[in-house]
A and B are shown apart, each in its own frame.
Chain A
Amino acid sequence: AQSVAQPEDQVNVAEGNPLTVKCTYSVSGNPYLFWYVQYPNRGLQFLLKYITGDNLVKGSYGFEAEFNKSQTSFHLKKPSALVSDSALYFCAVRDGNTPLVFGKGTRLSVIA
């Protein structure tokens, strides 16, 4: 069965600095990987996905993620953080026809 780990419950970063939110996964087949963001009192919003192709995936709001097969990781990155990026971030994986499995989430706090 597939699983996702987000090892950090909380990430703090100063505005303007680069940010990384970590995600590792485990699947038996080829992974389909996703990042979602949840703002306070809102539903989840899709940020980006990796299905196949280039290991560096670009998504919404200037975010990108790098698929690393050997390390089974899919870390979310942004070169310069904004205060408005403060939210809860979820990594998710699916394997073929299976439903998405989500990590427990990482709360990102960007400090002005």
Chain B
Amino acid sequence: GAGVSQSPSNKVTEKGKDVELRCDPISGHTALYWYRQSLGQGLEFLIYFQGNSAPDKSGLPSDRFSAERTGGSVSTLTIQRTQQEDSAVYLCASSLRQLSYEQYFGPGTRLTVT
């Protein structure tokens, strides 16, 4: 079946602009996760959703970052007033439910802020 998809695959934006990153989880997966992967920094947890609710937003690096999920499916990560340090690969993952052991990752969105 279809895996996790993310769009766009690449995004170049100017400093100060807003960007939206989209994640389509595997159908039927109730849990959805956002991570950020910076060069040499591993994966940084940002936020996760159980259904449409986000029980844990502790990983969002600043109030410029927000995320929503609608209909228990698609999620959007929004970064306002982008800064150069926001440049990274943003990865989305989904799992059958929040306590499921395996997370399935999308290919990521590479964000470059110039």
Contact = CB atoms under 8 A, between A and B. Distances in A.
Interface of A: 9, 32, 34, 36, 41-46, 49, 51, 90, 92, 97, 99-105
Given A90-B43, A99-B48, A49 B105 contact: no
Contacts of A45: 105
Nearest to B99: A97
A46 B102 contact: yes
Given A32-B101, A46-B103, A46-B104, A99 B40 contact: no
A43 B108 contact: yes
A100 B45 contact: yes
Given A44-B93, A99-B33, A104-B41, 17 more contacts: A9-B40, A34-B102, A42-B107, A43-B4, A43-B105, A43-B107, A43-B108, A44-B91, A44-B105, A49-B101, A90-B43, A99-B45, A99-B48, A99-B56, A101-B45, A104-B40, A104-B42
A100 to B, nearest CB: 7
B98 interface: yes
Contact of B91 (A43, A97, A101): A43
Nearest to B45: A99
A75 B70 CA distance: 39
B106 A97 contact: no
A44 B33 CA distance: 13
Contacts of A46: 102-104
A19 B112 CA distance: 35
B4 A102 contact: no
A51 B101 CA distance: 8
